[in-house]
Amino acid sequence: MHKALAPELLRAYAAWLKTQRLDELGDYIVRAQAHWAELAQRVLRLHTDGAALDSLQSLIDANPL
């Protein structure tokens, strides 16, 4: 995954490296599942409606987690 799309993942990973605890990574995974599933649904709806690829990419880029 592109670093710009998942800055919170980098922070959670850094916390794990520091503490060796999985709490923050686990919390990120729960949030990420919902976030990316919802965003994927939005992209698919827009694509089905004929949206341009540039607009789909812009939507993805505007919604990092």
Domain boundaries, the chain: 3-61
pLDDT digits (tens, 9 = 90+) for 3-59: 899 999 999 999 999 999 999 999 999 999 999 999 999 999 999 999 999 999 999
pTM here is 0.85
Residues 6+ apart with CB under 8 A from 7: 64, 65
How far apart CA 27 and CA 46 sit, in angstroms, is: 29
* Residue the block writes with tokens 């990120």: 28
Model pLDDT, residue 1: 59
Tokens for 55, please give them.
């607009």
| Residue pair 4/61 in contact by the 8 Å Cβ criterion | yes
Residues 6+ apart with CB under 8 A from 47: 56
Model pLDDT, residue 3: 85
